[in-house]
Chain A
């Protein structure tokens, strides 16, 4: 029996991802005027889904590889071909602001759910 449900771990991963995205957006905004800077995107949703969808390969040797490829960790990607300003910069300020607002709502929703999960545990334990 585990005391903390898998939902708590998933919420933890989600909050890690939200933080990464927040940092990435802040970085983009800070470099809005830097020549030749390309905007970065945070990708982490796959880390929440993978645990459910990916199944492990049966390995009998250290050199065997896992099924599937690609990133397991959250990562940031960058599109080098895009350009938004004449100085080669690709930061779209409106887009970044919208993404940041979106991320803030996401993060506070996750925090609220995390609070609910711990609250349920405490209720069940009878600690008022």
Chain B
């Protein structure tokens, strides 16, 4: 989500003011500020989680219809539930990777 950098340049520069001053013109605000980057990442994460929640809700609704016999084709129920299951699994994988990354950062020797 960090824009305004040539491909070769490290994306770390917005964090260190000296490096950014030397590489770009201070008058231009092309760089993404740290809080903006955090915001956009937060939004992205929020949207992804909302998407998973939508899948779960659809699956729940289909299951209730199956229970009361309102559903007329079984495959809808199972497709919805498989989608919800895969979405949940993807979320869990992302969570595990994030925690792994956090652990790596914490183990880093400075």
The chain A residues found within 8 Å of chain B, CB to CB, are 5, 7, 10-11, 13-14, 45, 48-49, 105-106, 109-110, 112-113, 116, 119-120, 123-124, 126
Contact = CB atoms under 8 A, between A and B. Distances in A.
Most buried by A among B63, B68, B74: B63
28 contacts: A5-B60, A7-B60, A10-B63, A10-B64, A10-B67, A11-B63, A13-B67, A14-B67, A48-B68, A49-B68, A105-B74, A106-B69, A109-B66, A110-B66, A112-B78, A113-B66, A113-B81, A116-B59, A116-B81, A116-B85, A119-B85, A120-B85, A123-B85, A123-B88, A123-B89, A123-B92, A124-B92, A126-B92
Contacts of B74: 105, 109
A110 B67 contact: yes
B96 interface: yes
A123 B95 CA distance: 12
B88 A45 contact: no
A54 to B, nearest CB: 14
Contacts of A124: 88, 92
Contacts of B69: 45, 106
Nearest to B74: A109
B80 to A, nearest CB: 10
A113 B81 CA distance: 8
Interface residues of B, number: 18
A113 B69 CA distance: 14
B68 A45 contact: yes
A126 B34 CA distance: 32
Q: Which of the listed residues B67, B78, B81, B92 has the most CB atoms from chain A within 10 Å of its own CB? A: B67
Main secondary structure of the interface of A (DSSP, over half): helix
Contacts of B67: 10-11, 13-14, 48, 110
Given A116-B59, A123-B85, 7 more contacts: A5-B60, A7-B60, A10-B64, A13-B67, A113-B77, A113-B81, A124-B92
B64 A7 contact: yes
A48 B63 CA distance: 12
A100 B100 CA distance: 51
